């Protein structure tokens, strides 16, 4: 393990000023006047404070969004105008990418090489949906009947006021994944970032005003999940919630949505399997399987945390991944050579270390890692376990840290039972040189996404989401914008 210390850097200008929420085009404090700390996970130290939004603030934001929606300042704006404004906002993101990267690093801890690519991809995705503004339309239908002639057609209309709740593991990207299709559809929105990572959400709000998005169309309320998040989920004037986060919170949102039957899109947790067959190109499989779990310190919903290796290759693959883990550079996320940043918080740090302890206690073989290095920040070494089994907590439960469980398997017939052994179904990886094996395995794994001979990533032209307890609905592609639309059938007797 190559460890480096985090360098002291001056704070970005954006966080040297008082930070406020965006409601109805105005920058405001919380109604209560309370604030909450923002902590750098690389040092464990507070460096800023943001308003501690709660139910009263959410209500003001929802009212602003409702007024904007009913006035039609955005919803009834021409498609070409909306497209131009959203494209202008994406250009502003690009112009301010260095600031966005810096804010994301001090807020989230992701290494600069990873976060830069993530933000660039998010901007590309934002432009994908900007282009969708001019491509939304209904269809005409030939009515079959004997009594009269009809002209029948459908209209596609925005669902209304939407709540967008985003996680802390890739805050800017997750926000863009929701804002872009919601606004392209013509909705008004209230964005609630994770309390750990509010900075880029507030920066998006600033740039949205500069781009020309009308007041009330995009509101940003900071606060914790129990107060602001729950109030948004329960608000009777919110028509839809789009949430990315834990399965536990996703289940709570299902109950919250019952009050007014809100539409829900839920992108939840995962415990994704990766299968390495004996015929795989190991020069590809070993480093990609390592990246599948260690990228962003394992803090990815679809992280490949369960590694199944065909028996003849088991020792070679485990040794190869362990060797990669031992050589990974951990520390200062502003260093372009850093591969592993900190976990998001003290709580998550303790949770991951607790899982490692439970794995050892249940008899798993600790191949490498398993410790927190000395010094500041919430770092955990990349960890590889072997001799793990389906009864162990580290195999069944989502850890959200750099912890890999390696297990042998016999052949293709074992894939369905092993892959589908958990209640999750978000991602899966397959490494093989046999095209038939790849197709058959992909078909038999109950999941929303399958990657063959690589792992992770998503293109906006493709849907992304999970099955079973990994969520409802899809983000990305046409499905991503349809989630923010209603269809109306119109019949005209001629």
In angstroms, the CA 82 to CA 68 distance is 14
Task: Kindly indicate whether the domain formed by 273-459 is annotated with CATH number 3.40.309.10.
Answer: yes
- Both tokens of 402, joined, read 């750099």
- Kindly report the number of other CB atoms within 10 A of residue 351's CB atom: 14
- Kindly report the number of other CB atoms within 10 A of residue 73's CB atom: 16
Give me the pLDDT at residue 147, please. 74
Q: Considering only CA atoms, which of 18, 7, 25 is closest in space to residue 67?
A: 25
Task: Kindly indicate whether the domain formed by 10-268+469-493 is annotated with CATH number 3.80.10.10.
Answer: no
Catalytic pick from 83, 267, 339, 398?
267
- pLDDT tens digit string along 36-60? 999 999 999 999 999 999 999 999 9
- Kindly report the number of other CB atoms within 10 A of residue 84's CB atom: 16
Give me the pLDDT at residue 4, please. 52
Strands 161-165 and 240-244: parallel
Catalytic pick from 133, 176, 187, 301?
301
Give me the pLDDT at residue 36, please. 96
Give me the pLDDT at residue 3, please. 56
For the chain, give every domain's residue range: 10-268+469-493, 273-459
475 is catalytic: no
Query: With contact defined as beta carbons under 8 Å apart, do 266 and 250 qualify?
Result: yes
For helices 171-184 and 112-132, the axis angle rounded to 10 degrees is 0
- pLDDT tens digit string along 183-242? 999 999 999 999 999 999 999 999 999 999 999 999 999 999 999 999 999 999 999 999
DSSP 54-79: -HHHHHHHHHHHHHHHHHTTTTTS-H
301 is catalytic: yes
Total residue length of the chain: 494
In angstroms, the CA 96 to CA 122 distance is 13
Task: Name the 3-class secondary structure at 340.
Answer: strand
For helices 97-108 and 112-132, the axis angle rounded to 10 degrees is 120
Give me the pLDDT at residue 8, please. 65
- pLDDT averaged per 10 residues, the chain (length 494): 60 93 98 96 95 98 98 97 98 98 95 96 97 95 78 96 96 97 98 97 98 98 95 97 95 93 96 98 98 96 97 98 96 94 96 97 96 93 94 95 97 97 97 98 97 93 95 95 96 89
Sequence-separated (6 or more) residues with CB below 8 Å from residue 180: 86, 125, 126, 128, 129, 130
Query: With contact defined as beta carbons under 8 Å apart, do 124 and 460 qualify?
Result: yes
Tokens 């038999």: give the residue: 444
Give the dihedral sign, CA 55/56/57/58.
positive
Torsions phi, psi for 367 (to 5 deg): -80, -45
pTM, two decimals, is 0.94
Q: Considering only CA atoms, which of 83, 71, 59, 60 is closest in space to residue 481?
A: 83
């Amino acid at each position: 393990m190559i460890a480096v210390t985090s360098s002291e850097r001056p704070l970005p200008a954006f966080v040297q000023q008082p930070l406020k929420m965006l409601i109805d085009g105005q920058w405001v404090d919380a109604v209560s006047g309370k604030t909450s700390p923002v902590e750098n996970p690389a040092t464990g130290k507070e460096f800023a404070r943001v308003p501690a939004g709660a139910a009263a603030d959410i209500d003001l934001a929802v009212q602003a969004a409702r007024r904007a929606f009913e006035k039609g300042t955005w919803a009834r704006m021409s498609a070409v105008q909306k497209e131009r404004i959203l494209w202008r906002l994406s250009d502003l993101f690009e112009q301010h990418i260095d600031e966005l990267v810096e804010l994301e690093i001090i807020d989230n801890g992701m290494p600069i090489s990873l976060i830069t690519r993530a933000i660039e991809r998010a901007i590309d995705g934002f432009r994908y949906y900007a282009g969708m503004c001019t491509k939304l339309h209904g269809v005409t239908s030939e009515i079959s009947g004997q009594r009269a002639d009809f002209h029948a057609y459908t209209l596609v209309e925005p669902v209304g006021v939407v709540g967008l709740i985003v996680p802390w593991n890739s805050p800017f990207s997750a926000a863009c994944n929701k804002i872009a299709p919601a606004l392209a559809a013509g909705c008004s929105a209230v964005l609630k970032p994770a309390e750990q990572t509010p900075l880029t959400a507030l920066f998006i709000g600033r740039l949205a005003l500069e781009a020309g998005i009308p007041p009330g169309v995009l509101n940003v309320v900071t606060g914790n999940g129990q107060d602001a998040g729950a109030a948004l989920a329960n608000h009777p004037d919110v028509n839809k919630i789009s949430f990315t986060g834990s399965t536990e919170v996703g289940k709570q949102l299902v109950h919250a949505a019952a009050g007014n039957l809100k539409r829900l899109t839920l992108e939840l947790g995962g415990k994704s399997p990766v299968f390495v067959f004996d015929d795989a190109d190991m020069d590809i499989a070993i480093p990609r399987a390592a990246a599948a779990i260690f990228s962003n310190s394992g803090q990815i919903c679809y992280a490949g945390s369960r590694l199944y290796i065909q028996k003849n290759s088991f020792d070679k693959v485990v040794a190869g991944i362990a060797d990669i883990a031992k050589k990974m550079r951990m520390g200062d996320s502003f260093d372009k050579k850093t591969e592993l940043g900190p976990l998001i918080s003290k709580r998550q740090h303790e949770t991951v270390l607790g899982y490692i302890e439970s794995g050892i206690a249940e008899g798993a073989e600790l191949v490498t890692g398993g410790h927190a290095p000395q010094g500041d920040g919430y770092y955990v070494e990349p960890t590889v376990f072997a001799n793990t089994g389906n009864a162990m907590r580290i195999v069944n439960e989502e850890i959200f840290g750099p912890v890999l469980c390696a297990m042998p398997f016999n052949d293709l017939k074992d894939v369905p039972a092993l892959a589908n052994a958990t209640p999750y179904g978000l991602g899966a990886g397959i490494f093989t040189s046999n095209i038939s094996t790849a197709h058959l395995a992909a078909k038999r794994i109950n999941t929303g996404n399958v990657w063959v001979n690589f792992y992770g990533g998503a293109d906006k032209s493709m849907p992304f989401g999970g099955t079973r307890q990994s969520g409802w609905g899809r983000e990305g592609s046409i499905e991503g914008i349809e989630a923010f639309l209603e269809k109306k059938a119109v019949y005209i007797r001629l």
